[in-house]
Amino acid sequence: MSHAATHDGHDDHHGPAQLKDGLVPWVMRWIGTTNHKDLGTMYLIFAFTMFFIGGAMSLVIRAELFQPGMQLVSPEFFNSMTTMHALVMIFGGVMPGFVGLANWMVPMMIGAGDLALPRVNNWGFWILPFAFTMLLSTLFMDGGGPSGGWTMYPPLVLQTGDALPYVIFSIHLMGISSITGAINVVVTILNLRAPSMTLLKMPLFVWTWLITAYLLIAVMPVLAGAVTMLLTDRYFGTSFFTAAGGGDPVMFQHIFWFFGHPEVYILILPAFGIVSTIIPTFARKALFGYDSMVYATASIAFLSFIVWAHHMFTVGMPVAGELFFMFATMLIAVPTGVKVFNWIATMWRGSMTFETPMLFAVGFVFLFSLGGFSGLMLAIAPADFQYHDTYFVVAHFHYVLVPGAVFSIIAGVYYWIPKWTGVMYSEFWGKMHFWLSAIFINVTFFPQHFVGLAGMPRRIPDYNGQFADFNWISSVGAFAFFFAQFIFIFNMMRCMAKKGEPATQRVWEGAHGLEWTVPSPAPYHTFEVPPEQITIPEDELTAVHDEFDALDGHKLS
Amino acid sequence: MSVKTMLSIVSGLLAWAMSSAALAAWEVNMPVGVTEISREVFGLHMLIFWVCVAIGVVVFGVMFYSVFAHRKSRHPKPADFHESTLVEIIWTTLPFVILIAMAIPAAGTLIKMEDTRGTEMTVKITGYQWKWQYEYLEHDISFFSSLSADSNEARRLGSGIDPATVDNYLLDVDNRLVLPVDTKVRFLLTSNDVIHAWWIPDFAVKKDAVPGYINEMWTKVDVPGVYRGQCAELCGRDHGFMPIVVEVLSKEDFAAWVAEQTGGEVPAVVAAAPAEVATDAAPDAAAEEPAVTAPAEASMADLMAAGEKVYNTYCGACHQKNGEGMPPAFPALKGSPVATGDLATHIDIVINGKNAMTPFGASLSDEQIAAVITYERNAWGNDTGDVVQPAQIAAAP
């Protein structure tokens, strides 16, 4: 290693500005930081803030739906809540959550010093608070917030009040942020891996993020184009989607879902990566079928581009189109099934312990699969005519997004926070958090299958008494689930305040990745020199194991 | 909050709900329905459901067995296998075969659902914010169908009316779509403003009403009765308040209904069974429609009575039954400069709309508009004494 390279490290000898160095330097450090760990932390804090804002909106929805009759909010505001809840959760919660995990973990997993484009990384993050401030401010504008649904179908969306251009501009900003993040991930993974880490030796989280990043780059511009056409239709007299001017309202749906379906996989592929990382660790057994996992992920990504119109079976497509999209959609069950089978084969004859990250990962496999089953049912086009736009669909996508995507983010945070903060979270409160979440998520969403099948449409603020019972159960579950999440916040803040048992370097005895070869907490700069080894080999595992026993360190049940 | 407190809250809520379980319908499944297609769809739904259950039992059975048996306390030494091409091929191929077995009957039903050949009558359905228009293309019948007045009143924010006291709350309309039994009816579906979706679960018929498009679908109902559904595509503020009610009559009763609507002769076959007509066809659309008989010069009293009905159905949602509106979004009509001032301006706004207000020129008849304007100019102490005649509406731009 050259002298210059080691000297660079000395520039940060004193580390980043702390609060005790003064408020201004500390604030400036977070505003100006290009460090992937700082930015990962900020992305995660932002994401969880948005989860709570979007969650509060869902409570408004569930409170109004607690019993028949209109008690609390006007139908307009109700529609704003459903619309904003979706936008905030998808673009503000899940996507930045995964970007935060990628920021922290991708460089550490591939042995890189940072992301390849650190300043772009800073810019990508700092766009988000402005984008969401603008989006949320529309709730206070003349005509209220957007209320045409997050899918923004014209002509309805063109009836939005003053909020419309602000919503469209904030979507443009979120798109720019996502694209910069995605480019950064691709460039980093393809260029900055440790020399001996070939593509098929990368951890699965890195693989799933690489594929996700390509999906983002492919479809975010499509969304930007669609909403820009809405903007010109409304303000510049074009008729892209207005039938009276020769346009086509259905074309918007095709464009939107060409973005929207890959987007669904953007929200779930990194989750697959996290679960594929956690299960082998706690099963103390290598991931079963690594290669097939990579190929399955790539297949899902490919198929995601050719199934979009299954969101539009009732729009009036030719029967040949309906058949094609039905068959293609059913095909997705094959690679998704392969993934689930591989996870279970990984667990099979392992030596499992069930710390909080593993609980969330196993919960993911079970509950995500339930969402997968209802997805398979929705793929059957004739039956979809009955399910479409009912609470059955609401139940389906919440099963894949909450105990799917959100559980995986929570699992990832529990799994890695000892590495980030150098402190173990409280296992008792972690387990409490899991069980309350797992129970109440089912109380919330399982009954929605029933009301949907019985005929309750989605996005309605009031309903006939026949749907009353399952609705109040669902509302009770939603409130309980929401408040259970404060346990998580408490647990994580405890780690960030450095209160708790110190974490070892390895943290989990079955962990093999490069991130476990740096100290806990991870130093501000890691892997300034690429590592030679790319995993912790089995013989070292035994050594670390002995070390654990000797120290009577972190106990694994 | 302790777990105990939480449990006591939940159990309290449970007790409350059990007591109110009178209107409980713990319906957990899709209706089988009353058409050949709906029964086929139900069959497909149950088939794929049981396929999922079977796969779920096997997969989760293995998983939970492993969670139990392969935990560290029972199975301290992990095995070290981590790949098998054979196993991967098996669990790729097997689901593929199951899917093909599912796809074949699904494709058959789908093709049948889209086959509109051999239809015996056609109804054109147009979606409006927030009501439906039905036009019987062969019979020259056309009317609007919107949420019934009692549901409409009860669903106001803070109305103080218990929805449980309203019959078919939010699932009842003023004018039902009336169809004959055992007849292949084709629907032509479009919209006047935004996208709506017409759905009757018992028919397994759902399709979007898209402005600028005419979508086709069909049904052939086997059992006479009343069937209810709702708009299924978010269409704005009152999306939850535009239900669909279809009344299916025997062919004879339907012919009688058509005759009544068109003012024609009751066909001989029906005249032979007058009792049946009276019981079945009486509560249908015509009886409750807030339509106005249209003499050349309508009296103030007639116009006021008809106008009140029209007002409560179409205007009351925003301007309120008492005419006080919900300012600033929905201005008051009581004492307003428009409703007490220049008549031409008033007529123009009702016909052509203004800002957020829907234009009613296309959806209401001249008689209805004349009545409602007369009502608005004389109710709630507006007392202008103006009587607006349908001819004045017809003459307005």
Confidence check: pLDDT of B223 > 80: yes
Confidence check: pLDDT of A456 > 90: yes
Pair of tokens at residue A38: 């700082």
Provide, rounded to the nearest whole percent, the portion of chain A with pLDDT above 90. Answer: 86
Catalytic center residues of A: 85, 114, 150, 177-178, 261, 263, 265, 276, 310-311, 336, 339, 458
Average pLDDT over residues A480-499: 94
Confidence check: pLDDT of B283 > 60: no
pLDDT at B343: 87
Question: Searching chain A, which residue's CA lies closest to the CA of residue B25?
Answer: A466
Interface of A with B in 6-35 (CB under 8 A): none
CA A327 to chain centre: 27
- Report the length, in residues, of chain B: 397
CA A286 to chain centre: 25
Pair of tokens at residue A341: 């089978």
Question: Searching chain A, which residue's CA lies closest to the CA of residue B77?
Answer: A351
Per CB-CB distance under 8 Å, the chain B contacts of A153 are 194-195, 233-234
Confidence check: pLDDT of A303 > 80: yes
pLDDT band at A545 (very low <50, low <70, confident <90, very high): very low
pLDDT at A557: 35
Average pLDDT over residues A400-413: 96
pLDDT at B313: 77
pLDDT at A76: 93
Interface of B with A in 159-188 (CB under 8 A): 159, 161-164, 168-171
Confidence check: pLDDT of A554 > 50: no
pLDDT 10s digits, B178-206? 999 999 999 999 999 999 999 999 999 99
Question: Searching chain B, which residue's CA lies closest to the CA of residue A322?
Answer: B110
d(CA A8, CA A525): 11
pLDDT at A220: 96
Average pLDDT over residues B31-54: 94
Confidence check: pLDDT of B389 > 70: yes
Nearest to B80 among A243, A285, A466 (CB): A285
Interface of A with B in 379-438 (CB under 8 A): 380-383, 385-386, 388-390
Q: In terms of C-beta density within 10 A (0-12 exposed, 13-18 middle, 19 or more buried), how is residue B58 classed?
A: exposed
Interface of B with A in 50-109 (CB under 8 A): 51-52, 55-56, 59-60, 62-63, 66-67, 70-73, 75-84, 87-88, 91-92, 95-96, 99, 102-103, 106-107, 109
B284 HSE (CA, 13 A, CB side): 24
User: Is-above-0.90 flag for pTM?
Assistant: no
Contact (CB<8Å) A338/B91: yes
**Cβ contacts of A407 within 8 Å, gap of 6 or more:** A271, A360, A363, A364, A367, A368, A437
Q: In terms of C-beta density within 10 A (0-12 exposed, 13-18 middle, 19 or more buried), how is residue A22 classed?
A: exposed
Question: Could you tell me if B367 and B294 are in contact, meaning their C-beta atoms sit under 8 angstroms apart?
Answer: yes
- CB count within 10 Å of CB A305 equals 15
Nearest to B110 among A381, A457, A483 (CB): A381
pLDDT band at B364 (very low <50, low <70, confident <90, very high): confident
Contact (CB<8Å) B24/A468: yes
Average pLDDT over residues A355-361: 96
Nearest to B195 among A249, A459, A465 (CB): A249
Confidence check: pLDDT of B241 > 70: yes
pLDDT band at B4 (very low <50, low <70, confident <90, very high): low
Dihedral (CA of A148, A152, A156, A159) sign: positive
Nearest to B96 among A334, A374, A455 (CB): A334
Interface of B with A in 308-337 (CB under 8 A): none
Confidence check: pLDDT of A555 > 50: no
Per CB-CB distance under 8 Å, the chain A contacts of B109 are 382
Per CB-CB distance under 8 Å, the chain A contacts of B198 are none
pLDDT at A497: 92
Per CB-CB distance under 8 Å, the chain A contacts of B63 are 344, 347, 362, 365-366
pLDDT at A273: 96
Lowest-confidence region among A131-145, A378-392, A537-551, B40-54? A537-551
d(CA B114, CA B360): 34
- CA of A148 to nearest chain B CA: how many angstroms apart? 6
Contact (CB<8Å) B72/A156: no
**Segment (H or E) for A379:** helix A356-379
Rounded (5°) CA angle B221-B226-B232: 85
Question: pLDDT averaged over chain A?
Answer: 91
pLDDT at A537: 65
- CA of A421 to nearest chain B CA: how many angstroms apart? 27
Contact (CB<8Å) B201/A369: no
Lowest-confidence region among A197-201, A334-338, B239-243, B380-384? B380-384
pLDDT 10s digits, A431-453? 999 999 999 999 999 999 999 99
Contact (CB<8Å) B212/A344: no
Pair of tokens at residue B363: 């959806």
**Segment (H or E) for B95:** helix B85-113
Does the CB of B271 have a partner CB in chain A at under 8 Å? no
pLDDT band at A475 (very low <50, low <70, confident <90, very high): very high
Nearest to B23 among A352, A465, A480 (CB): A465
Whole-angstrom CA distances from A348 to A137, A542, B88 are 50, 21, 15
pLDDT at A421: 94
Average pLDDT over residues A169-177: 96
pLDDT at B6: 54
**Residue found under tokens 């301290």:** B76
- CA of B323 to nearest chain A CA: how many angstroms apart? 19
Contact (CB<8Å) A243/B212: yes
ipTM beyond 0.90?
A: no
**Cβ contacts of A227 within 8 Å, gap of 6 or more:** A152, A168, A171, A172
pLDDT 10s digits, B60-95? 999 999 999 999 999 988 898 888 999 999 999 999
Average pLDDT over residues A116-125: 95
pLDDT at B396: 79
Question: Could you tell me if B89 and B154 are in contact, meaning their C-beta atoms sit under 8 angstroms apart?
Answer: no
Average pLDDT over residues B13-34: 66
3-state secondary structure of B185: strand
pLDDT at B316: 78
- Please spell the DSSP secondary structure of B293-333, one letter per residue: ---SS--HHHHHHHHHHHIIIIIHHHH-TTS--BTTTB---
Q: Beta-strand (E) ranges in chain B? A: 121-128, 131-136, 141-145, 177-180, 185-191, 196-200, 205-209, 215-219, 225-230, 243-249
CA A28 to chain centre: 28
Average pLDDT over residues A114-130: 95
- Angle between the A427-453 and A391-400 helix axes, to the nearest 10 degrees? 160
pLDDT band at B282 (very low <50, low <70, confident <90, very high): very low
**Residue found under tokens 């026993």:** A549
Confidence check: pLDDT of B289 > 80: no
Lowest-confidence region among A220-229, A325-334, B268-277? B268-277
Confidence check: pLDDT of B11 > 70: no
Phi, psi of B127, rounded to the nearest 5 degrees: -85, 140
| Side chain identity, residue A368 | F
**Residue found under tokens 């990368």:** A202
Confidence check: pLDDT of B374 > 60: yes
pLDDT band at A540 (very low <50, low <70, confident <90, very high): low
pLDDT band at B293 (very low <50, low <70, confident <90, very high): very low
Nearest to A365 among B23, B25, B63 (CB): B63
3-state secondary structure of B335: coil
Pair of tokens at residue A473: 């159960």
Contact (CB<8Å) A350/B75: yes
d(CA A366, CA A521): 32
Question: pLDDT averaged over chain B?
Answer: 84
Average pLDDT over residues B318-345: 82
Per CB-CB distance under 8 Å, the chain B contacts of A76 are 237
**Residue found under tokens 């998704």:** A336
Lowest-confidence region among B4-13, B294-303, B334-343? B4-13
Nearest to B309 by CA among B355, B356, B361, B364: B364
pLDDT 10s digits, A8-62? 444 444 678 888 888 999 999 999 999 999 999 999 999 999 999 999 999 999 9
Interface of B with A in 30-59 (CB under 8 A): 30-31, 37, 40-41, 44-45, 48-49, 51-52, 55-56, 59
Confidence check: pLDDT of B55 > 90: yes
- Angle between the A468-496 and A36-64 helix axes, to the nearest 10 degrees? 160
pLDDT at B276: 40
- CA of A523 to nearest chain B CA: how many angstroms apart? 32
Contact (CB<8Å) B211/A353: no
Q: Please give the interface size between A and B, counted as residue pairs whose CB atoms are below 8 Å apart.
A: 313
Pair of tokens at residue A276: 């594929």
**Cβ contacts of A546 within 8 Å, gap of 6 or more:** none
Confidence check: pLDDT of B349 > 90: no
pLDDT at B270: 41
pLDDT 10s digits, B118-173? 999 999 999 999 899 999 999 889 999 999 988 988 898 888 888 889 999 999 99
Nearest to B236 by CA among A249, A79, A390, A314: A79
Provide, rounded to the nearest whole percent, the portion of chain A with pLDDT above 70. Answer: 94
